[in-house]
Structure 1
């Protein structure tokens, strides 16, 4: 008998609550960013659409619809947005801290499997942003694919 248990594992995007969860998360998160002494100087001139673009980007990376790459940009364009911004580890750590605080306030799933995968992407993505922000040119190809993040080692929600 074939094991179909893998077919029932939801995408990280679905497990988090779909697009409404990501849009709420980044909307509330950027309110915190603009009130934060460390991050406000970096983000004070962001466009009104920035919150939604980041929500769509992260949602797509975690298995959601291709809203970002279909009409708002590409991974290459996201890399371009970070060039010469001179982000620091302090910026990166504070960004993650405020995002996780917001995720808790909005009751995003807090099971170890989801948070492990979510944190893994945040660590990877923010470290890439810091690297790209401290250079003036992109070494990636313009057709670099969007990242695609899954559950990783745990393989899905806890089944205990």
Structure 2
């Protein structure tokens, strides 16, 4: 089975995607409050997370750690509109970055975004640790690539 990471084009393609996406959120009126300034490490961290989640090297876990991700979302109070705009801009960036356009891959990426943005939103609203989403590690996202039979 081909990983999402390999199908996407590896580190270079995913870094290109995250660069385009990050530029979009920094300029978006709705998301600027969540991304108020460019941070030197943000694109790399986004890339490492996506790479690892899509089946590539585990650099995010080794060098950043999942707890960092939880903490940066705490108290942001992400709205439904912001969460939906995040997904929308990511899919725009996906197209602009020239990633494979086949529907099974696009659907897997969208499902990943929907799941991840809901986890981030829950964590952003957590008043106490018990309110956090139970996820404590980078999720390993898989897909049913074209030609693969169902079970």
TM > 0.5 fold call? yes
Q: Match for residue 78 of structure 1?
A: 69
Q: 1:99: how far off?
A: 0.8
Q: Match for residue 93 of structure 1?
A: 84
Unaligned runs of 5+ in 2: none
- List per-residue Cα deviations over 1:130-155 (Å, max 9, x = no partner): 1110113333699933211100xxx2
1:79–1:138 contact (8 Å) kept in structure 2: no
Q: Equivalences for 1:50-69 in 2 at 5 Å?
A: 50-69=42-61
Unaligned runs of 5+ in 1: 1-8
TM-score normalized by structure 2? Answer: 0.89
TM-score normalized by structure 1? Answer: 0.84
For this pair of structures, how many residues does the alignment match? 147
Which moved further from structure 2: 46-55 or 9-18? Answer: 46-55
Q: What value does the CA root-mean-square deviation take over the aligned residues?
A: 2.0
Matched, 1:33 2:33: no
CA distance in 2, matches of 1:60, 1:157: 22
Q: 1:91: how far off?
A: 0.7
2:3–2:142 contact (8 Å) kept in structure 1: yes
Which moved further from structure 2: 112-121 or 139-148? Answer: 139-148
Q: Relative to 1, partners in 2 of residues 1:97 and 1:38: Cα closer, same or farther, differing over 3 Å? A: same
Q: Match for residue 94 of structure 2?
A: 103
CA distance in 2, matches of 1:104, 1:81: 27
CA distance in 1, matches of 2:112, 2:120: 12
Matched, 1:49 2:38: no
- From 9, 12, 19, the counterpart of 2:11: 19
Segments ≥4 residues shifted beyond 3 Å? 139-143
